[in-house]
Chains A and B, each alone.
Chain A
Amino acid sequence: MHRQVLSWATVVLGISCGATWAQKSATESIEEYRAMLADGNPADLFEAKGEALWKEKRGPKRASLEQCNLGKGPGVVKGAFVELPRYFDDVGRVQDLESRLVQCMATLQGFDAAEISRTPFGRGEMANVTALATWVAAESKGLAFNLPQGHTQEKVAYEVGKRLFFQRGGTHDFSCASCHGEDGKRIRLQDLPNLTKNPGDGIGFAAWPAYRVSNGQMWSMQLRLNDCYRQQRFPFPAFGSDALSALSVYLGVNAKGAKSAAPTIKR
């Protein structure tokens, strides 16, 4: 009975004030749905796995990752995520979190970095990299992004990243900016953050890694960017490539001050 009254109200209001009302109520319902999912994020499962992997003696060298330097010194995890990607002296290049984790797995544990980089997302050691990244990110939850820009290569990476962000291509002429260059836009029902500036706490760069409910997978930033390019109808960007690190620097520097909410839960 109550329901019928409500549906009538929808019809009447729909006539009197056009589409806006119905649209808003759909948006509110989606918000409600997202709130229901927030408590009990399966990302927790990957976070726990990542923490165990960090401490476990693994690989040909039977070593843990506890001496891995994520930029704040060997073994310092808290706060590392919100300062990545950054320049690393030992390799002479800018690395993002996942490239750095693979680097540590190679140097400390004796894994083959090239082989891990070739492994599809969600499989074998690549799945472990994602779990590790999820845990490392979770250790910085609530901290504000503050990527270093002191080194020339970090500045170069920002400039290269900016060019990648605006690069139109593929069969559809899309660039990252086609969807993420303006405020208040939506693709289907998904809100699109404007990534040319700080889009706010826990939005955009500050929201990944994230658990994707659509396929039940944990998505790292590398996979997030990889799938953006897939949907842009671009060719395939290599895991850990300088291009993806540079793009991440552009997004991360723009997000300066945004508090990290990672790992989050997404559609």
Chain B
Amino acid sequence: MNNRRETLKQGMTLAGLLASTGLFPQFAWAYNKTAFDAKSVADVAKAFGVSAPVASKDVTITGPDIAENGAVVPLGVSTSMAGVKHLLILVEKNPSALVAMFNVSDAVESSFSTRAKMGQSSDVYAVAITSDGKALFAKKEVKVTLGGCGG
């Protein structure tokens, strides 16, 4: 039960992040993510039904558990699903969450890797936007360690 609530909460957080990019107005209802606390998440999600971003095994995020340096964090997004229009990489705690958006075509595999800056430890999301406007996601936590000597 807890686990399901956790997942729904992540969906809400992500909806907020997606809306904040300005690219996906369909998620704007969740823009003010602070409005949703853990307790009410299940109810809110019920009200909005399937349009909430949902966790999916068909979407994969790859990245390190610990990044030795936040300036370069290797992240990858991929999906096994058909009918995906965009693949996105987001870092929740970055000043602007969206790192990169890849437009999927028949000519390339739905799998892309790049490297992102992360200001601090954060959840990172891989999101697949389908041609009918749904958002499916996978997430993982990446810890950013303090580097060598300096401050």
Q: Are A and B in contact, CB atoms below 8 Å, in the complex?
A: yes
Q: Mark A32-53, 1 if CB is under 8 A from B, else 0.
A: 1110110000000000000000
Which one of A146-154, A182-190, A242-250, A256-264 contacts B?
A: A182-190
Find residues 171-208 in chain A having any chain B CB closer than 8 Å to their own CB. 187-190
A119 beta carbon closer than 8 Å to chain B? no
Interface centre among B3, B69, B72, B146 (most CB of A within 10 A): B72
- Alpha-carbon distance between A36 and B67 when the two chains are bound, in angstroms: 10
Q: How far is the CB of B147 from chain A (nearest CB, A)?
A: 6
Q: Is the CB–CB distance between A189 and B68 below 8 Å?
A: yes
Q: Is the CB–CB distance between A189 and B72 below 8 Å?
A: no
- Alpha-carbon distance between A216 and B117 when the two chains are bound, in angstroms: 11
- Alpha-carbon distance between A188 and B72 when the two chains are bound, in angstroms: 19
Q: Is the CB–CB distance between A32 and B150 below 8 Å?
A: no
Q: Which residues of A contact B150 (CB under 8 A)?
A: 231
Q: Which residues of B contact A190 (CB under 8 A)?
A: 148
A214 beta carbon closer than 8 Å to chain B? yes
Q: How many residues of A contact B (CB 8 A)?
A: 20
B66 beta carbon closer than 8 Å to chain A? yes
B71 beta carbon closer than 8 Å to chain A? yes
Q: How far is the CB of B7 from chain A (nearest CB, A)?
A: 10
Q: How far is the CB of B14 from chain A (nearest CB, A)?
A: 17
**Residue from the list A1, A4, A30, A231 in contact with B149, Cβ < 8 A:** A231
Q: Which residues of A contact B149 (CB under 8 A)?
A: 187-188, 231
Q: Is the CB–CB distance between A32 and B147 below 8 Å?
A: no
With A37-B74, A231-B150 as known contacts, state yes or no: A189 contacts B69, CB within 8 Å: no
Q: Is the CB–CB distance between B147 and A188 below 8 Å?
A: yes
Q: Is the CB–CB distance between A267 and B65 below 8 Å?
A: no
With A187-B148, A213-B71 as known contacts, state yes or no: A32 contacts B64, CB within 8 Å: yes
Q: Is the CB–CB distance between A32 and B65 below 8 Å?
A: yes
Identify the closest chain A residue to B63 (Cβ): A36
Q: Is the CB–CB distance between A29 and B74 below 8 Å?
A: no
- Alpha-carbon distance between A223 and B112 when the two chains are bound, in angstroms: 34
Q: Is the CB–CB distance between B148 and A267 below 8 Å?
A: yes
Q: Is the CB–CB distance between A215 and B71 below 8 Å?
A: yes
Q: Which residues of B contact A215 (CB under 8 A)?
A: 71
B32 beta carbon closer than 8 Å to chain A? no
Q: Which residues of B contact A189 (CB under 8 A)?
A: 68, 145, 148
Q: Mark B42-83, 1 if CB is under 8 A from A, else 0.
A: 000000000000000000000011111101101000000000
Identify the closest chain A residue to B141 (Cβ): A3
Q: Which residues of B contact A32 (CB under 8 A)?
A: 64-65
- Alpha-carbon distance between A33 and B74 when the two chains are bound, in angstroms: 8
Q: Which residues of A contact B74 (CB under 8 A)?
A: 33, 36-37
Identify the closest chain A residue to B3 (Cβ): A1
Q: Mark B87-118, 1 if CB is under 8 A from A, else 0.
A: 00000000000000000000000000001000
- Alpha-carbon distance between A67 and B149 when the two chains are bound, in angstroms: 41
- Alpha-carbon distance between A87 and B30 when the two chains are bound, in angstroms: 69
Measuring CB to CB, which residues of chain B are less than 8 angstroms from any residue of chain A?
3, 64-69, 71-72, 74, 115, 145-150
